[in-house]
């Protein structure tokens, strides 16, 4: 290559290098501006302080732990009886803050199943974050709300075993409280009772001509159930079922009158529904 050509080649190479350096400089400036813009963004609002709650379901008779399968209880009507098992649904758990706001527990699940034969069901580890603050009361629906009580929504046991017969309205039982009692005049021979609550029926003529259905779920309000939620801490709340109250207030429930099966007896289920609003109380564990 001649000296002139060599100089021309070297000059062209120098121009290319210069152009590349200029381009690289523009790229670095752009990256620097982008990073600076990101860092200059205003911080978002601070995350709300919150804690957690755990609900424990306790079953008592006259203030003591329930004893199963033992004929040791007598209700307000004078019926000697025993309890075999209790199964029920609790839903729409609501916490009432002192500032007037309400927290509906529904982030992960909004219906909880409780079974005295399944110990793990006695604890509901609530997924929802509960804002820090003071809460003055709790409420919940006993059973499943009418609009959610849909047949076949549970496909696996034990919840699926709570189905309510389609011809009686469908959906699911709110409660099965099964036991036995001594009928009047009996000394040792007990009679089974299915103290069950679910959709009631309106009959044109019993037991075949059903003209409508009655929702029997009910709201339980627990005044005086106040508690404090502290950020990043967990509080245990015991919801206690005082079983004797199913049979005594405001109505004295007599097994000899209502018999062992009430799923098709709306009058009996109405008594159960009204008594049930006085069955629950709360306790707190730090």
pLDDT of residue 207: 73
Supply the range of the domain harboring residue 274: 51-285
**CB 135: neighbour CB atoms within 10 A?**
23
Distance CA 85, CA 65 (A): 13
Counted domains in the chain: 2
How far lies 199's CA from each of 110, 138, 164, 254, in Å? Answer: 20, 25, 8, 21
Q: Is 261 part of a structural domain of the chain?
A: yes
Q: Is 210 part of a structural domain of the chain?
A: yes
154-202, pLDDT tens digit by residue? 999 999 999 999 999 999 999 999 999 999 999 899 999 999 999 999 9
- pLDDT score of 16 more than 60: no
Distance CA 140, CA 90 (A): 7
- pLDDT score of 144 more than 70: yes
Kindly indicate the confidence band of residue 42, based on its pLDDT and cuts at 50, 70 and 90.
low
Does 122 share its domain with 91?
Answer: yes
**How does the average pLDDT of the chain come out, rounded?**
87
Alpha-carbon Rg for the chain in angstroms: 33
Nearest to 121 by CA among 94, 161, 151, 148: 161
Q: Count CA atoms closer than 13 A to 86's CA, side-chain side.
A: 20
Does 19 share its domain with 109?
Answer: no
- pLDDT score of 76 more than 60: yes
Percent of the chain scored above 70 by pLDDT? 83
- pLDDT score of 74 more than 80: yes
Does 30 share its domain with 106?
Answer: no
Least confident window among 17-31, 50-64, 83-97, 157-171: 17-31
Which helix (H) or strand (E) covers residue 13, if one does? helix 3-39
pLDDT of residue 23: 56
């Amino acid at each position: 290559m001649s000296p002139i050509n060599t100089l021309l080649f070297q000059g062209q190479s120098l121009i290319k290098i210069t152009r590349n350096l200029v381009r690289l400089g523009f790229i670095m400036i752009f990256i620097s501006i982008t990073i600076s813009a990101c860092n200059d963004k205003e911080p978002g609002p601070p995350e709300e302080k919150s804690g957690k709650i755990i609900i424990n379901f306790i079953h008592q008779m006259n203030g003591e732990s329930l004893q199963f399968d033992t004929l040791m209880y007598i209700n307000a009507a004078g019926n000697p009886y025993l309890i075999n098992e209790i199964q029920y649904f609790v839903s729409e758990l609501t916490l009432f803050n002192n500032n007037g706001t309400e927290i509906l527990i529904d982030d992960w699940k909004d219906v909880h199943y409780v079974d005295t034969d399944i110990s793990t069901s006695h604890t509901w580890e609530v997924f929802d974050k509960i804002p820090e603050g003071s809460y003055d009361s709790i409420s919940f629906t006993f059973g499943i709300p009418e609009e959610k009580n849909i047949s076949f929504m549970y496909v696996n046991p034990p919840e699926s075993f709570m189905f309510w017969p389609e011809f009686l309205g469908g959906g699911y039982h709110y409660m099965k409280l099964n036991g036995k009692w001594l009928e009047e005049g009996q000394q040792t021979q007990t009679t089974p009772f299915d103290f069950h609550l679910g959709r009631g029926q309106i009959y044109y003529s019993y037991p075949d001509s059903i003209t409508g259905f009655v929702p029997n779920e009910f709201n339980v309000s627990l005044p005086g159930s106040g508690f404090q939620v502290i950020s990043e801490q967990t509080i245990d709340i015991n919801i206690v079922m005082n079983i004797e109250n199913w049979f005594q207030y405001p109505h004295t429930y007599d097994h000899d009158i209502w018999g062992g099966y009430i799923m098709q007896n709306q009058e009996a289920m109405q008594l159960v529904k009204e008594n049930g609003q006085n069955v629950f109380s709360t306790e707190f564990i730090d």
